[in-house]
Structure 1
C-alpha cells in the first residue's frame, strides 16, 4: 500500500479527486486531481524554479467533501492540506509558488502576507511533522 518517495519538499496531489463540487470528471473521463497534477508537471517542465518541488500523486487523500485536494509537506515541517482548486495552470502555479515558500521556511510556516493569492481560502488543515506538535 505504501510506496517510498524522496523525503523533500513536495506536493501530494489526490489523483482521484473530483473535478469540481458538481462534477466527478470532465467530458473525457479525467478526474480533477489528475488534471491538477498534470498542470503542475507542465509548469515544472517550463520553469526550472519548480524543480525544487516533487509533484507526487496518490489515490484519495480522504478529503472527499472537497475537490482537487493537495498536501504540501517537507521534512521536519508543518504540512498543509488545501483543496477546492480548479484543475488549471493558475491554481497549479499558486500551489507550487506556495510550496517553494514553504520549503524555504524554517518550520513550514509562511507569513500570510507571502501567500500567493491563489491559495488564500483553500486551506483545510495543518499537520504537524512526525515527532512534533505545534505550539
Structure 2
C-alpha cells in the first residue's frame, strides 16, 4: 500500500515576494520529490491549494485504511523535505498509520495540524 505525500504547490509563506518565479510550495514539492525518490511505499504528488494558507507550507500524509495527517508551517529546505519523506516512510511501514512520537524526525515535530480517521467502507 502506498503512502502519499501531497504537497500544496500554491503555498506562499509571509516572506514570499511578488514576482518570484516559484511559490514556496513549489520549492518544497521539488525538494520532497527528491527526498522521497528512492523510498519504498512512498509517492509524492502536488495539488493546488490545500486551504491552509495561514499555515503555509502544507502537506498531507495519506494512505487507504490508515490515519491521515495534515502538516503545515514548513520552510522549503532540504532538511525539512527529508524529514517529511522519512515520516511518510514510517507511516507507510505502520499498519494503522500511527507513528510513535519518539521516532518522528525533529523537523516534523510541532507541524501537525490535523489527524483524520480512515474513511469507513460503507
- Does residue 39 (structure 1) correspond to residue 13 (structure 2)? The answer is no
Gap change, CA 1:26 and 1:123, over 3 Å in 2:
farther
Gap change, CA 1:27 and 1:54, over 3 Å in 2:
same
Counterparts of residues 99-110 of structure 1 (less than 5 Å) = 99-110=88-99
In the alignment, which of 6, 12, 15 is matched to residue 9 of structure 2? 15
What stretches of structure 1 of length at least 5 have no aligned partner? 1-6
Q: CA deviation at 1:51?
A: 4.5
Q: Is the 8 A contact 2:3 2:88 kept in 1?
A: yes
Normalization by structure 1: what TM-score? 0.82
Gap change, CA 1:86 and 1:27, over 3 Å in 2:
farther
Gap change, CA 1:51 and 1:106, over 3 Å in 2:
closer
Gap change, CA 1:60 and 1:98, over 3 Å in 2:
same
How many angstroms apart in 1 are the aligned matches of 2:7 and 2:28?
Answer: 8
The range that moved more, 25-34 or 95-104, is 25-34
Matching residue of 1:24: 16
What stretches of structure 2 of length at least 5 have no aligned partner? none
Q: Is the 8 A contact 1:82 1:124 kept in 2?
A: yes
CA RMSD of aligned residues (A): 1.8
